[in-house]
């Protein structure tokens, strides 16, 4: 046995350190390979790039001046039987859509304040809307249409709820203007309004407090819908979730802060649509808010779609009953009688009796369009679609249509507009489309979804293979240097003992 102890010392210092190094590095590689099986390094890197922190892609987008946002493809409803409808010869108002006239929203966020410690981002959006001629049928200043006189109809509808003597003097004042409820106008005036409109002045005289502006323009309203302060969540788990808007955690115009407060008028699960949290699931509640819409819209998971540059995206649509009268949307309606398929917009649109719906009254109550001809609702053309990458929360494509209408009350007191009594009059609809995904985003997705998995699996194989090779080398070195030297003298002793027995 003395010989055995002597040979153990044959493990040299050099071999000892080789065994240690091989073992440590081999175990380290095994841990890295195991972690790579659990964690996707490309995904982690991408999350870091799209998080809300200074220098990240999303932060650069938020802070970029004049950032190009959504396209607005606008279609207006041209009246083709104005005289026959006004005279009563035809009972249905015939309309035909004309468009598109494309505009684009450009945005600059000011007063930006990112507080990573609190996990919030504050900013004030400034919106500029510009005409894009190459994707439009013509210049909106050159196209004439037969359209309802929006100011005249809106004022008459507001006057209908006032006392008879107010209606009487209002009628006299309007008659002197010699205006017709259906008039020839250019597209530009419909979209941007006319300053110092004579009927608006009459309305502000006889109906004080009913309207809060002198110009009645739809795009003007959207462009002026900025200048409000947003506070949003800046954490990865709730990225871009709205915390407050203009200091409120809900919409006071829809009853927030009163006994009518509910999920309908609070910013719970609400986003502007710029981006969404990371790692959303099919059950993650998502709601869309845009100040010009004057309401929150629930999105509903619909399915998945494979994108050319890698992601297996989630597809959402606006709920079919989004503009209907339900318990979840009851805060939106301020009308004496709510209309299924048309949401009251008056609180956010100068007080005018206006309403939102899907384009061509898609999914609306059929009674809404029974006095109209030319409404052709089509899910493919007039539906909505929000394509979102679930891992990074980035919107990949958006298509969203919304229609502006006048909601007329009983205006039979006014002989000029009485044919419009209790009617929803379509004016125009917007098809809101997200611009093409920037190339740097496509490259990022390609790395995460296409190159990333190959790199990950190759790394796992290489790490595991190297780990096993190093551990095997360490074991082999130990075995050759120690175990063999222990066993060999034991065999010599056994042979010697046998020899002694034979003698």
Lowest mean pLDDT among 221-225, 256-260, 401-405, 452-456: 452-456
pLDDT in tens, 315-339: 999 988 888 877 788 888 777 677 8
**Would the pLDDT of 154 be above 90?**
no
**Would the pLDDT of 9 be above 50?**
no
- pLDDT of res. 207: 63
pLDDT in tens, 194-251: 666 676 667 666 566 555 555 667 888 788 765 688 999 999 889 999 999 989 999 9
**Would the pLDDT of 123 be above 90?**
yes
**Would you state the structure tokens that stand for residue 277, as one six-digit string?**
């949290």
Stretch (H or E) spanning 326: none
Q: Which residue has the higher pLDDT, 503 or 77?
A: 77
Q: Which residue has the higher pLDDT, 278 or 171?
A: 278
Query: CA angle at residue 448 from 443 to 453, to 5 degrees?
Result: 130
Stretch 179-206: mean pLDDT: 79
Stretch 169-176: mean pLDDT: 76
pLDDT in tens, 467-488: 888 888 878 877 777 655 555 4
Q: Which residue has the higher pLDDT, 399 or 227?
A: 399
- pLDDT of res. 336: 67
What burial letters (b/e) apply to 190-219, b meaning 16+ CB within 10 Å? bbbbbeebebbebbbebbeebbebebbbbb
**Would the pLDDT of 84 be above 90?**
yes
- pLDDT of res. 462: 80
Confidence of residue 1 (pLDDT cuts 50, 70, 90): very low
What burial letters (b/e) apply to 358-372, b meaning 16+ CB within 10 Å? bbbbbbbeeebbebb
Q: Which residue has the higher pLDDT, 207 or 39?
A: 39
Q: List helix spans (H) across 216-347.
A: 218-223
Residues 105 and 69: beta-carbon distance below 8 Å: yes
Lowest mean pLDDT among 52-56, 199-203, 311-315: 199-203
**Would the pLDDT of 346 be above 80?**
no
Query: CA angle at residue 397 from 394 to 401, to 5 degrees?
Result: 125
Question: Does the N-terminal peptide bond of residue 326 adopt cis geometry, omega within 30 degrees of 0?
Answer: no
What global pTM score does this model have?
Answer: 0.83
């Amino acid at each position: 046995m003395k010989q055995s102890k002597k040979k153990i010392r044959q493990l040299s210092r050099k071999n000892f350190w080789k065994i240690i190094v091989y073992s440590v590095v081999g175990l380290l590689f095994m841990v890295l390979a195991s972690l790579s099986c659990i964690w996707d390094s490309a995904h982690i890197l991408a999350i870091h790039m799209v998080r809300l922190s200074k220098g990240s892609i999303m932060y650069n987008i938020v802070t970029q001046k004049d950032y190009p946002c959504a396209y607005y493809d606008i279609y207006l409803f041209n009246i083709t039987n104005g005289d026959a409808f006004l005279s009563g010869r035809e009972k249905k108002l015939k309309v035909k859509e004309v468009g598109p006239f494309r505009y684009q929203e450009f945005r600059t966020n000011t007063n930006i304040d990112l507080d990573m410690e609190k996990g919030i981002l504050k900013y004030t959006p400034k919106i500029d809307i510009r005409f894009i001629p190459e994707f439009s049928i013509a210049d909106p200043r050159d196209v004439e249409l037969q359209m309802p006189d929006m100011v005249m109809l809106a004022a008459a509808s507001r006057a209908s709820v006032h006392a008879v003597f107010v209606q009487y003097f209002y009628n006299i004042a309007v008659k002197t203007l010699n205006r017709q409820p259906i008039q020839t106008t250019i597209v530009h005036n419909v979209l941007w309004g006319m300053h110092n409109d004579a009927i608006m002045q009459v309305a502000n005289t006889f109906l004080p407090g009913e309207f809060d502006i002198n110009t009645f323009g739809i795009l003007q309203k959207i462009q002026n819908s900025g200048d409000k302060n947003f506070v949003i969540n800046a954490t990865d788990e709730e990225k871009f979730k709205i915390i407050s808007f203009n200091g409120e955690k809900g919409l006071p115009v829809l009853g927030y802060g009163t006994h009518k407060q509910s999920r309908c008028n609070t910013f719970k699960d609400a986003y502007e649509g710029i981006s969404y949290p990371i790692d959303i699931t099919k059950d993650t509640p998502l709601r869309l808010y845009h100040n010009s819409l004057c309401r929150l819209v629930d999105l509903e998971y619909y399915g998945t779609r494979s994108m050319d540059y890698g992601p297996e995206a989630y597809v959402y649509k606006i709920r079919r009953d989004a503009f209907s009268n339900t318990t979840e949307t009851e805060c939106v309606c301020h009308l004496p009688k709510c209309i299924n398929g048309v949401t009251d917009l008056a609180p956010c649109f100068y007080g005018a009796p206006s309403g939102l719906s899907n384009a061509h009254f898609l999914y609306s109550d059929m009674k809404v369009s029974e006095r109209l001809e030319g409404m052709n609702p089509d899910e493919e053309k007039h539906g909505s679609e929000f394509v979102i990458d679930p891992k990074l929360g980035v919107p990949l494509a958006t298509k969203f249509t919304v229609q502006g209408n006048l909601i007329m009350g009983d205006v039979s007191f006014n002989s000029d507009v009485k044919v419009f009594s209790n009617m929803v009059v379509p004016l125009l609809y917007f098809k809101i489309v997200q611009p093409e995904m920037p190339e740097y985003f496509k490259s990022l997705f390609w790395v995460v979804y296409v190159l990333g998995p190959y790199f990950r699996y190759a790394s796992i194989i290489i790490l595991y293979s190297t780990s096993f090779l190093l551990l095997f080398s360490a074991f082999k070195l130990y075995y050759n240097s120690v175990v063999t030297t222990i066993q060999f003298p034991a065999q010599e002793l056994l042979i010697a003992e046998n020899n002694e027995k034979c003698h």
